Amino acid sequence: MKPIKHFRHAKSKISLKFKIWLYFVIFTVIVLALLWIFQIFFLERFYKGIKARTAVESMDIIAESFMSDNKDEFYRTVDEVALENELCVEVTDRYGRHIYKKHVLADCIIHNLNNENNRIIDEIDDSENGIIKKMPQNKRTGAPTLICGMRLGSAKAPQGYLIINSALAPVEATVAIIKRQLMFITTLLIIIAFIISLYLAKRISAPIDRITKSAERLAKGDFTTKFDGRGYLEAKKLADTLTYAEKELSKVDMMQRDLIANVSHDLRTPLTMLKAYAEMIRDLSGDNPVKRNEHLEIIISETDRLALLVNDMLDLSKLESGRQKLTPSEFGISGKLSEIIDRFKGLSEKNGYTINFTPDEERIVCCDTVKIEQVIYNLINNAINYTGDDKQVFVRQINTDDGVIVEVEDTGDGIEEDKIKLIFDKYYRSENHKREVVGTGLGLSIVKAVLKMHNYDYGVRSTLGKGSTFWFKISDVRKQD
């Protein structure tokens, strides 16, 4: 395999480590910014909002209780609401005279308002649903205060006026304390974020750095590289995937070397012969027709062998590359077997071979016709090549519930038990045969590759001295009614 010499790295110059660190720091800054915004800048607005909402809710409860006509119940409600929310509650008539009051707040300002009360009542009357306002700083305590008011009873003829005073504690002091705390927290968080993000970035990028280094070694052709994906699941998955890719690449590399070695060996022999006999015709036998024909015959048969070898090699490499797809079609298996056997007729008649065919009922099968034809062809061809002196070959079609078994039997020497495993291997050829057989050692490898692609079972039964039966089972058959 050609090693890759130059790597083109992606355009991004920012490393993963830096990115992780940066994201973590950005995240921390955002969290801190939110904290500052809500704790410092919006605290006062937030606090006033809550106070105003509490005051309005308290007024609603008191107003509802006022309408119940149960005086004791009403007084109790006013007391409870005032206590619970630290309020001053005044219920007056149109002229500011008390109907009921409850002052929980120490420096309540509404009873000091006197005339002010009347002004507030005027404001309530002018309003649609009531008033809510922040009064200027309480002169005595210096604290701002919140005044709310509403009519009790109907809007046109109010039976009373409800005025509530809720203290607004100054938040400046609290904000100052929080500010100091936040400054401390911010500094601490930034330092912690900096350290943690550095540590995390290192931890996350370490396996990727390791795997990248290994991948670079692999790209240079080192198939023994180990991919270490320790750390976390994604890195482990990446390492496993690369280990798998490495295994596959090394297989391809081996196959390539293997092929080159075998091809150069297998091609060299016939080529040497061709050259030698051509030279012989030129130098010696050119004028001797008998010798010349003999030499030409050898050249022709060597050329045939060469063509056979090249074709088989091409077929097998196409099948093994995985780029060839199956193109299934339906056909009758009995018809197909007869057709293939007929093709051998010329040869069998010439050389005295008999192919005995035992068909079963016609069955429609669905598979890649061309490839399955090649399987049958190779098996029959082998059976003819290796059968015994009686020159008999038997082809059988056996229908089963879930498929069709095709058997090809010969009466040859049979295959030794320990060789059966090897015969489907590429370039395996046994030299142990009586006849000189023209072959490439690729026929059964092609059979195996095609049957594996189809996912069909196949095998061989063999008895030494009696013969062998090669079989395969087509399992894609049209359902019988």
Residues at the site binding ligand ADP, with contacts judged by CB under 6 A: 382-383, 386, 410, 412, 415, 423, 428-430, 439-445, 468
Query: Which residue in the shown chain puts its C-beta closest to ligand ADP?
Result: 439
Least distance (Å) between residue 417 CB and ligand ADP: 13
Angle (CA) 104-110-116 rounded to 5° is 175
Sheet holding 392-400, edge to edge: 354-358, 392-400, 403-410, 467-474, 458-463
Torsions phi, psi for 285 (to 5 deg): -95, 5
Q: Minimum Å distance from CB 480 to ligand ADP?
A: 32
Three-state SS across 211-234?
Answer: HHHHHHHHHCCCCCCCCCCCCCHH
Q: How many CB atoms lie within 10 A of CB 313?
A: 20
User: Shortest distance, CB of residue 440 to ligand ADP, whole angstroms?
Assistant: 5
**Alpha-carbon distance 170 to 455, whole Å?**
84
201 vs 444, which CB is nearer to ligand ADP? 444
Query: Which position has the token pair 């056909």?
Result: 331
Q: Smallest gap, in angstroms, from Cβ of residue 430 to ligand ADP?
A: 3
When the beta carbons of 197 and 468 are compared against ligand ADP, the nearer one is 468
Nearer residue to ligand ADP within complex by CB, 246 or 266: 266
Give me the least distance between CB of 386 and ligand ADP, in Å please.
Answer: 3
Q: How far is CA 372 from the centre of its chain?
A: 36
Pick the closer one to ligand ADP by CB: 182 or 453. 453
Contacts of 445 (CB under 8 A, 6+ apart): 316, 424, 425, 426, 427
Give, to the nearest 10 degrees, the angle between helix 233-283 and helix 289-320. 170
H-helix or E-strand containing 332? strand 329-332
- Closer residue to ligand ADP, CB minimum distance, 386 or 472: 386
Q: How far is the CB of 385 from ligand ADP (least distance, A)?
A: 6
Residue closer to ligand ADP, measured from CB, 105 or 380: 380
SS3 100: strand
In the complex, minimum distance from the CB of residue 400 to ligand ADP, in angstroms, rounded to a whole number:
23
Shortest spacing between CB 424 and ligand ADP, in angstroms: 7
C-alpha span between 73 and 76 (Å, rounded): 5
By C-beta, is 45 or 343 nearer to ligand ADP? 343
Nearer Cβ to ligand ADP, position 81 or 379? 379
- The Cα–Cα gap between 20 and 203 comes to 10
Q: What are the distances in angstroms from CA 326 to CA 295, 379, 452?
A: 43, 20, 11
